[in-house]
């Protein structure tokens, strides 16, 4: 784990930047409620959003004169979208090695980032290092019926081409480390046409679909259309902002880094050549 950031390339969202907001945006008025709540939460603090993407949650904050926000992302195309929204202090960088000084920011934020990074404790350690007060995330707790994304994932797994997220979702973070503060932002129940949800899945808008081979993808989409195109997808969304003191995040990240390095050492000892570092080493090329 310690050196992994030098080996695994980051997961850039360049390929979906032009349709990211259309496929992930929250419905109104919840989207505006989140933007308002975050603007109040961060206020005039010097704040950092890591994996800022298009900056979809930051619209209200960026419209305020007192806003002092820096956004970091690996994807130039996502950063361009954020710039078009009014974010001006943007830095292209990997979350596993942030180019900022210790405790340089009052507050920091990440949302829908940690599940993309196998070395997520390293990201939290970096966030903890550069933050003096608190780290927050926006929890989008969603229940859909029928859950077509879940159905897609299940079918991909059954075909042997499913891919689990490499990291830990921010949604799961409060289960591992109790949040110091949770602010309820709002709830909304709404319906979408099944056909529209399947169109989003057909366009491979979501990260866990990117490596599904075309024949399997086409089969899964055809089957979803056959079963659910005429259905209504009922969704319930409950949005909260969870926050932790920066020192709690630092301590937790250190514990998780130590745990990962112990697990790696045990793995390497048990079967030489099977540590995750070894697995990432390129195979010798064929003669």
Ligand X SMILES: C[S@@+](CC[C@H](N)C(=O)[O-])C[C@H]1O[C@@H](n2cnc3c(N)ncnc32)[C@H](O)[C@@H]1O
Which of 130, 124, 86, 82 is closest to 107 using CA atoms? 130
Q: Which is nearer to ligand X, 56 or 228 (CB)?
A: 56
Taking the complex as a whole, the smallest distance from the CB of residue 113 to ligand X amounts, in Å, to 5
Taking the complex as a whole, the smallest distance from the CB of residue 94 to ligand X amounts, in Å, to 4
Q: Which is nearer to ligand X, 173 or 231 (CB)?
A: 173
CA distances for 243 relative to 164, 200, 255, angstroms: 26, 31, 19
* CA 175 to chain CA mean position, Å: 17
Q: Which is nearer to ligand X, 100 or 193 (CB)?
A: 100
Contacting positions for ligand X (CB under 6 A): 10-13, 24, 51-53, 56, 72-75, 78, 94-96, 111-113, 116-117
Backbone angles phi, psi at 172, to 5 degrees: -90, -10
Q: Which is nearer to ligand X, 26 or 202 (CB)?
A: 26
Q: What residues form DSSP beta bridges with 144?
A: 235
The residue number with the shortest CB distance to ligand X is 53
CA 31 – CA 81 distance, rounded (Å): 17
Taking the complex as a whole, the smallest distance from the CB of residue 93 to ligand X amounts, in Å, to 7
Taking the complex as a whole, the smallest distance from the CB of residue 127 to ligand X amounts, in Å, to 11
Q: Which is nearer to ligand X, 72 or 231 (CB)?
A: 72
Taking the complex as a whole, the smallest distance from the CB of residue 69 to ligand X amounts, in Å, to 13
């Amino acid at each position: 784990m310690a050196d992994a950031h030098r080996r695994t390339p980051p997961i850039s969202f360049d390929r979906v930047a032009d349709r990211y907001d259309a496929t992930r945006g929250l419905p109104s008025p919840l989207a505006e409620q989140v933007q308002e709540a975050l603007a109040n939460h961060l206020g005039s603090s010097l704040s950092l959003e890591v994996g800022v993407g298009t900056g979809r949650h930051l619209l209200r904050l960026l419209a305020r004169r007192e806003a002092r926000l820096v956004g970091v992302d690996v994807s130039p195309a996502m950063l361009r979208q954020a710039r078009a929204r009014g974010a001006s202090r943007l830095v292209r960088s990997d979350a596993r090695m942030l180019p900022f000084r210790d405790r340089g920011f009052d507050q920091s934020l990440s949302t829908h980032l940690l599940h993309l990074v196998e070395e997520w404790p390293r990201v939290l350690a970096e966030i903890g290092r550069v933050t003096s007060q608190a780290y927050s995330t926006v929890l989008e707790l969603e229940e859909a019926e029928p859950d077509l994304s879940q159905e897609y994932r299940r079918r991909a797994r059954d075909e042997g081409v499913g891919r689990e997220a490499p990291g830990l979702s921010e949604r799961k973070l409060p289960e591992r480390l109790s949040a110091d503060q949770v602010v309820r932002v709002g709830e909304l129940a709404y319906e979408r046409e099944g056909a529209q949800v399947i169109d989003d899945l057909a366009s491979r808008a979501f990260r866990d679909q990117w490596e599904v081979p075309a024949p399997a993808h086409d089969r899964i989409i055809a089957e979803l259309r056959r079963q659910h195109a005429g259905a209504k997808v009922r969704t319930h969304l409950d949005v909260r902002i969870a926050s932790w003191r920066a020192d709690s995040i630092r301590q937790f990240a250190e514990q998780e880094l130590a745990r990962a390095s112990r697990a790696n050492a045990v793995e390497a000892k048990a079967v030489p050549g099977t540590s995750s570092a070894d697995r990432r080493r390129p195979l010798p090329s064929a003669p």
